[in-house]
Structure 1
Amino acid sequence: MVLAGVFLWDSELIYGVKWARESCCPYSTPLICTPSSASGWARTRFTRRNRMLPRYQALPTSPLSSSATEKSPKKYNLSLFSGRWATRWLFAALAAAVVVFLGLPILRDLNWEWGFPWSQSTVPLHLQGYTRPSSIRLPTEEEQAFWDLRKDEVRDAFQHAWTGYRSVAFPNDELTPVMGGKSNKFNGWGVTLFDSLDTLWMMGLEDEFSSAVETVKDWKFEEIKPDQFVPFFETTIRYLGGLLSAYALSGNEILLNLADDVGRILIKAFNEATSCQLEFKYLAKLTGKREYYDKVQAVMEIFYNASNATNGLFVDQWFGSTGLPSGNHITVGGGSDSGYEYFLKQWVMSGDEKARTQYLTSINSIIDNLIYVTPNGTRGLMYVTDTDTYMTAHRQEHLSCFLPGLLALGAALLDLPPDVREKHEWAASGLTYTCYIAYADQQSGLAPEEIRMNGPGVKWVDELRRWEQGGRQGKAPGMGEPPAYKNWELREYANGWPSVYLLRPETIESIFYMWRTTGDVKWRERGYEIFRAISTRTRTKFGFSSVVGVDKRLRLLDEMPSYFLAETLKYFYLLFDEIDTYPMDRWVFNTEAHPLPTFSWTSDEREAFNITL
């Protein structure tokens, strides 16, 4: 082992220690250890299979921080021995070996970070209580080597899709993978490239990443193609989120400047309620611009004030002019999904206590009012549905399959009473299984956009109460994990029309979180089943295509959404990667799967932005 880093001190922050094994590094830059949390998470192995690029070491201090102008300490030559005598060199080698052998455990106990970008000496204060359950068994080296091969399959699939887009469709938004054409749905700015930047980095595709950044270094976002408009939500999560994540990973200032350009354009036409707080608050921290923080926080205050009347459940339509709700439709699917998601993730990212309280209010109301199980005589599947006034739809969207992953993340990170944590974990497991079985049931192995129950189900909390009153005999309701039914006549649901699979990521996202929070290999196996179905059923000459007819005659739709590269393939890759890569107390994924680092606001930032949370 060679000590390839130095300790850099900045106020109360400690930069990471970087270790490299030069003999196994596939790049000119040494690989870097995965950071460990306060509970000793890291167990990264240095192998040629782990092609993760080095993570950014510099501290992107906010311009408001008094430490921003401080220079890094001078790097000194630490050579202690010189001369021609072989014994001196032997003594130096032995001394270094002893220091490494005795020092590594001490460094880990002190929580000095390993290659983490602008990391604090410990995890942010609000996340320091997080510990991995002792029941989780980590994979052995031999077991992980097996999954590394599957990870390579995902990387190959990504490269196939990326090459098709770059060679055929760029600088347009998306590839039409059947005909080898192009389409523009998101401003005509090349959304697939910006959405894919962090995936390139995380998969170790160094040349492709560098080429992409070089291509867009002088990009002008002001130019809109004829008949195009800028959708605020999609532009925020795909362009702004993609640029911020790629900057957090690589430290390339070009990406931060581009992110600031996008933020400056969007803030002039701010018209989004939620699902933008992570991106704009992180941009505010990096640039020191208060307007980015103020805009998104003002919206949050409206929701906090409305929550008392709605018990944490919000309709999916609001009047932009008055800030008042419109209609009575409540869902966790399209139109509302990432709003609930960002309540929890704002707390994860920066310790926002109001957002944490709102998440708990909302998620408990969702559990009490929107989660059902299919009735006796069926497989007892758990599902989350939507309501309109006093009508319950008894359907589940694919988009709603993000929810169990959110439940798993919250149960892992939040300090919850044991009974509440248990309920959240059960809901996460049961809902994820239903999302998975919707794939396994189909002839193609691909899930439809929606499933509709053949009859009304029963509220899960009511079934849970009866089960507890009966002495908890057998498994909890919705936890049975019944077998797949390839015969549609046996199922308790029908596929929604049209029966399409749009290369969506929500199910694999939740499977990823279930694996990370339980360590149960069955979730990896289920994820691989889905990946193989995608690989065999949707691959084309140029990329991968959405399909229609998932349970009958499959047909290609000739579209490859940018989120397939940004989210779907990324979550597959992380599912098969080392379990400690991008730990949950260090990174939070936005709703487009762009990882952003967790942090604490400095005292200067709190004063400048008037942060009282």
Structure 2
Amino acid sequence: MPGAIIPQYQRLGSSVPVSVIRRSLRPREKCLILLVFATLGIVVFWAFFYLPEYGKVSYQVQKAGADLLLPPSESKHGEAEDPHKRDDIEKLKIRIENDSEKVLDKPEVKRDSTERSFNHPEVIQASDPSKDLGENLIPRSRSPMLNGGEDRDDKSRERRNVVKKMMQHAWENYELYAWGKNELRPVTKRGHSASIFGSASLGASIIDGMDTLYIMGMDAEFQKGRDWIAHNLNLDNVSADLSVFETNIRFVGGLLTLFSFTGDSMYKDKAVHIADKLLPAFNTQTGIPLAIVNSRTGTSKNYGWASGGSSILSEFGTLHMEFTYLSDITGDPKYREKVDRIRDVIKKMDKPKGLYPNYIHPRSGKWGQAHMSLGALGDSFYEYLLKAWLQSNKQDVEARILYDDAMQAITEHMVRTSQGGLIYVSDMKFDRLEHKMDHLACFAGGLYGLGAKTQHNDQFSRHMEIAEGITNTCHESYSRSNTKLGPESFRFTDAIEAKALKSTEKYYILRPETVESYMIMWRLTKEQKYREWGWEVVQALERHCKVEGGYTGIKNVYSDDPQKDDVQQSFFLAETLKYLYLLFSDDNLISLDEWVFNTEAHPLPIKDVNPYYRAA
């Protein structure tokens, strides 16, 4: 450029001025350089031998990243905190937590040497389960068994492999014809959106079946399901009327199990997301939630047919396990507070004959129609009283007291023995027994047995007798049908026992309750008949329910060639096949000493016993 000042040096090579290059260094400069290198050598030597804990310190800093990086609150006592600052801090915390997910501890998963490990770039890998358990957890010499667990008996191993092949057939066809839909129509080979989830494609079968895949070691299928949940499960832009009960036991319960199994915080975040969508249903005068909530608007309602718009006992009473565990792993008490309030209302109410009616008005807090049942409308309420106590490592004493009192009343007023010697649980309506038992009530065999075995008292012998009797009666309802599958409900009269009378009672929709009792009673008693009965179910399913496109329910269990209902229920993957698989497995696989199943067969860890509890 004309008139520009010419620089006083030229550049040689990259950027070294020619004017500063000399042939040699002065003696003083040589001494200085030697001193610098000597000092550096001493520092490295000292760090190598005297700072062996550096790695642990670095790891702890990473884990505490959010607390270290977040600015302290500037609000003072009595002064309102700036909501904009609070929002900024929350956003920063979310970003820090997302960035630090890679340091989450995950216990080592116990596997057979022949099984592949679950590898995925987004899945947190395993670490020693005895570390970082928290002061309230007991370090264990081994990890709970999540898969593997082959039984020593050759026949049982062969039968278990058949069940796994059933799962593969059911899952592969769901993946082929209905991926992302709630359920599969296996006859017409298309998706099925169940009414309990509205018309939205929420992948109910994926979420319900994932822990079964994990337990069976079906790693490729598990990874694909994990990817779908991570990228597609989001209710923010979905307007669907959701059943609070079904969404909790299938979605929230399934995601919580996956979090406990893997330590992958994605599952916990999704469980929080789904549970938060259900919270508007609890905004009633009593805190008893309504049955249905819209995922977008939060508007809630009850079923019109439910005793004048009442809430249903089995629905609002089947939230405690999931919501309590969710509070424990997130550190947010709001979920536990919701279910604790429900219990406070229930325990203070007068119970006719000590029994719980199936309906309650959520505004007035009064009982609705005087209908009591251990089957439909009542069943899992009683189940969760016992299992909340077990889940808490027997610390929730109140839950056990409520369970014992309720089962004593049911035993006295509703358990009966037929002329042929079959023990069953009858429904009661307006102080009159209706000698009918639902398939749903067949879980009660396992319930009575589990309650008796976990706390010996003066009712132990009687309850074990009932447990064995109910399980036998449910087996008879299967054995007395042409298909060897049980009807939806069955009756006891002077003319028939353990058989359905009405056409609306004769269908079988792949239900799990009978095989659930088989599995639990096998583990409690080791009587071989329960495994033989389970194998009869496997054979009947293969003969009458298996089709080219999966497994379907049937409309008449007393027909030699029953019509198909064309629905592969998500609970077939979550419950029926899982319980059958565990029936033919070693007892250490999902041990009853370490896990407790929610009513959708999603195992949740027992607090202070199971290192997979992962409390916050």
In structure 2, the residue matched to 1:222 is: 235
Q: CA offset at residue 492 of structure 1?
A: 6.7
Paired residue type of 1:362: A
In structure 1, the residue matched to 2:294 is: none
Paired residue type of 2:241: F
Deviations, residues 478-523 of structure 1 (Å, cap 9, x unaligned): xxxxxxxxxxx87574444221011100000011111010011111
Q: CA offset at residue 236 of structure 1?
A: 0.2
Q: CA offset at residue 145 of structure 1?
A: 2.5
SS in 2 for 1:392: strand
Say if 1:505 and 1:564, in contact at 8 Å, map to a contact too.
yes
Paired residue type of 2:417: V
In structure 2, the residue matched to 1:503 is: 510
Paired residue type of 1:154: V
Paired residue type of 1:318: I
Deviations, residues 66-108 of structure 1 (Å, cap 9, x unaligned): 899xxxxxxxxxxxxxxxxxxxxxxxxxxxxxxxxxxxxxxxx
Distance 1:17 1:193 in 2: 24
Mean alpha-carbon deviation: is it higher for 527-536 or for 586-595? 527-536
In structure 1, the residue matched to 2:467 is: 428
Change (3 A) 1:391 1:214: same
In structure 1, the residue matched to 2:141 is: 113
1:284 aligns with 2:335: no
Q: TM-score, normalised by structure 2?
A: 0.70
Paired residue type of 2:399: A
Q: CA offset at residue 27 of structure 1?
A: 2.2
1:513 aligns with 2:552: no
2:206 to 166, 172, 193: 193
1:316 to 344, 355, 358: 358
Change (3 A) 1:174 1:19: closer
2:345 to 284, 302, 316: 302
Distance 2:406 2:480 in 1: 31
Say if 2:595 and 2:604, in contact at 8 Å, map to a contact too.
yes
1:182 aligns with 2:197: no
Mean alpha-carbon deviation: is it higher for 493-502 or for 429-438? 493-502
Change (3 A) 1:411 1:234: same
Distance 2:118 2:171 in 1: 24
Q: CA offset at residue 266 of structure 1?
A: 1.2
Paired residue type of 2:437: Q
2:529 to 522, 528, 538: 522
Change (3 A) 1:195 1:274: same
Distance 2:136 2:493 in 1: 62
In structure 1, the residue matched to 2:367 is: 325
SS in 1 for 2:184: strand
2:482 to 431, 440, 443: 443
Change (3 A) 1:362 1:427: same
Q: CA offset at residue 21 of structure 1?
A: 9.2
Paired residue type of 2:475: Y
Change (3 A) 1:437 1:575: same
Paired residue type of 2:596: V
SS in 2 for 1:285: helix
Q: CA offset at residue 273 of structure 1?
A: 2.4
Q: CA offset at residue 190 of structure 1?
A: 1.0
Q: CA offset at residue 220 of structure 1?
A: 4.3
In structure 2, the residue matched to 1:473 is: none
Deviations, residues 179-206 of structure 1 (Å, cap 9, x unaligned): 0011212243111101111111011111
Paired residue type of 1:518: T
State how many pairs are aligned: 464
1:555 to 555, 563, 576: 563
Q: CA offset at residue 310 of structure 1?
A: 3.4
2:413 to 361, 369, 393: 369
Paired residue type of 1:435: C
SS in 1 for 2:551: coil
Q: CA offset at residue 277 of structure 1?
A: 0.4
Say if 1:329 and 1:386, in contact at 8 Å, map to a contact too.
yes
Distance 2:110 2:518 in 1: 32
Q: CA offset at residue 312 of structure 1?
A: 3.8
Q: CA offset at residue 316 of structure 1?
A: 0.5
Distance 2:518 2:588 in 1: 16
Say if 1:200 and 1:206, in contact at 8 Å, map to a contact too.
yes
Deviations, residues 286-338 of structure 1 (Å, cap 9, x unaligned): 001111010011001111112x5435411111101122211110111111100
In structure 2, the residue matched to 1:204 is: 217
SS in 1 for 2:550: coil
In structure 2, the residue matched to 1:389 is: 430
SS in 1 for 2:546: coil
Paired residue type of 1:400: A
Paired residue type of 1:596: L
Indicate the structure whose relative CO is greater, using CA pairs within 8 Å and at least 6 residues apart: 1
Distance 1:577 1:380 in 2: 32
Distance 2:433 2:553 in 1: 30
Change (3 A) 1:315 1:233: same
Instruction: Name the % identity.
Output: 30
In structure 1, the residue matched to 2:63 is: none
Say which one has the larger Rg.
2
Paired residue type of 2:116: Y
In structure 1, the residue matched to 2:276 is: 264
Distance 1:582 1:181 in 2: 33
Q: TM-score, normalised by structure 1?
A: 0.70
Change (3 A) 1:493 1:183: closer
Distance 1:199 1:21 in 2: 15
Map 1:349-360 to 2 at 5 A.
349-350=391-392, 351-360=395-404
1:146 aligns with 2:155: yes
In structure 2, the residue matched to 1:546 is: 553
Paired residue type of 2:203: G
Mean alpha-carbon deviation: is it higher for 541-550 or for 587-596? 541-550
RMSD: 3.2
In structure 1, the residue matched to 2:248 is: 236
Paired residue type of 1:537: H
Q: CA offset at residue 218 of structure 1?
A: 2.8
Change (3 A) 1:319 1:491: closer
Change (3 A) 1:296 1:313: same
Paired residue type of 1:370: M
Say if 1:319 and 1:325, in contact at 8 Å, map to a contact too.
yes
Q: CA offset at residue 585 of structure 1?
A: 2.0
Q: CA offset at residue 429 of structure 1?
A: 0.1
Distance 1:176 1:262 in 2: 26
In structure 1, the residue matched to 2:64 is: none
In structure 1, the residue matched to 2:538 is: 531
In structure 2, the residue matched to 1:466 is: none
Say if 1:347 and 1:356, in contact at 8 Å, map to a contact too.
yes
Distance 1:57 1:555 in 2: 52
Paired residue type of 2:144: F
SS in 2 for 1:365: helix
Mean alpha-carbon deviation: is it higher for 260-269 or for 433-442? 260-269
Paired residue type of 2:318: S
Distance 1:155 1:431 in 2: 28
Change (3 A) 1:61 1:16: closer
Say if 1:545 and 1:557, in contact at 8 Å, map to a contact too.
yes
In structure 1, the residue matched to 2:14 is: none
Change (3 A) 1:165 1:28: closer
Distance 2:333 2:130 in 1: 20
1:597 aligns with 2:610: no
Q: Structure 1: which 5+ runs fail to align? A: 1-9, 31-53, 69-109, 119-138, 456-488
In structure 2, the residue matched to 1:588 is: 596
SS in 2 for 1:510: helix
Distance 1:563 1:331 in 2: 22
Change (3 A) 1:61 1:175: farther
Deviations, residues 256-279 of structure 1 (Å, cap 9, x unaligned): 111111111112223152101000
1:172 aligns with 2:261: no
